[in-house]
Amino acid sequence: MTWTTPLLYERLTWPEVRRAASEDRVCLIPAGTLEDHGPHLPLDADTRIASEICRRAAEEIPEEVMLLPPIIHGYTPHHMDFPGPITIGWDTFVRYCTDIGTSLARHGFKRILYLNGHGSNIPLVEMAARLVALDHPDVLAAAAFYLTSRESMKVIEEVRESELGGMGHACELETSIYLHLDPGAVDMDKAVDENSFPEGSNAWMDWSDGPLKLMPWWNAISRTGVHGDATKATAEKGKSLFEAAVSECVAFVRELRSKPLPVRWEPSERP
């Protein structure tokens, strides 16, 4: 039996799923949403970017990954005044993500990684991973947002031209990556520079937000759907950012594979 490269979950037969589960692979699940990304980017930006990162990572380490289809729809109610977004209730979304993970655990997979591309999914995907691990104590389930590791943050600072706030949404970063992936789908003539978020010393919105979390209705902080400076995006920047995201994803997978599966100890007064 010869595997496809990368190993695509939906293309397997059930005997092949059984075999794959015995190989200690990491189930890699891209997650995103459909929502407005300014007048210049398609609605699928979050899902497309996360999916492409996961696919490329799976191609680099095909013996270590089982690639799942993306979770296309996410939690984005604050964007609903713009035409296009499809939002899933937070509790429905958490349960949906959890059910995917618990299904995989039921089939024998012990390592699961949700690679998320949508900011408002972050706490919900993290909760889903935690619930999978609680339901299946011998399973390692984790969640991550792309381009958040220390090495990735260095690359972001190397390529960015915008000030703080220039990499928030449909911004220099996301637009650059989409230009690298599919330049024909990006209309740079319509790209804008907009930063209307009321930033302060603790509440700001960039690729890494401030410690004070604040999220009003999107059209209370953006007229165009953009937060950041999309006009500074280039495909060259996108290539650097995308490659950093793929390397980061590979590192996430390998760290998850290197960790021992959890064993619950009896509580003791000494370690």
Average pLDDT, the chain: 96
Tell me what pLDDT residue 1 has. Answer: 56
Tell me what pLDDT residue 57 has. Answer: 98
Give Rg (Cα) of the chain: 19
Higher pLDDT, 73 or 4: 73
Confidence of residue 5 (pLDDT cuts 50, 70, 90): confident
Closest of 248, 10, 43 to residue 146, by C-alpha: 248
Q: Parallel, antiparallel, or unpaired: how do β-strands 140-145 and 65-67 relate? A: unpaired
Nearby residues of 79 by Cβ (< 8 Å), 6 or more positions away = 35, 36, 85, 87, 218, 225
| Residues 168-196, mean pLDDT to the nearest whole number | 97
Q: What is the pLDDT of residues 89-106, one digit of tens each?
A: 999 999 999 999 999 999
C-beta of residue 50 within 8 angstroms of C-beta of residue 30? yes
> Domain spanning 9-258 has what CATH number?
3.40.50.10310
| Residues 25-41, mean pLDDT to the nearest whole number | 98
- For residue 267, pLDDT over 60 is answered with yes
C-beta of residue 96 within 8 angstroms of C-beta of residue 65? no
What is the dihedral sign for C-alpha 73, 78, 141, 267? negative
Please count the other Cβ atoms lying within 10 Å of the Cβ belonging to residue 67: 25
| Residues 62-88, mean pLDDT to the nearest whole number | 97
Confidence of residue 56 (pLDDT cuts 50, 70, 90): very high
Tell me what pLDDT residue 271 has. Answer: 87
| Residues 187-200, mean pLDDT to the nearest whole number | 92
- For residue 79, pLDDT over 90 is answered with yes
pTM for the model stands at: 0.96
Confidence of residue 198 (pLDDT cuts 50, 70, 90): confident
Q: What is the pLDDT of residues 109-123, one digit of tens each?
A: 999 999 999 999 999
In sequence order, what E strands does 136-180 have? Answer: 140-145, 167-169
- In the sheet that 227-229 helps form, which strands lie side by side, from edge to edge? 167-169, 227-229, 193-194
| Residues 56-74, mean pLDDT to the nearest whole number | 97
- For residue 2, pLDDT over 90 is answered with no
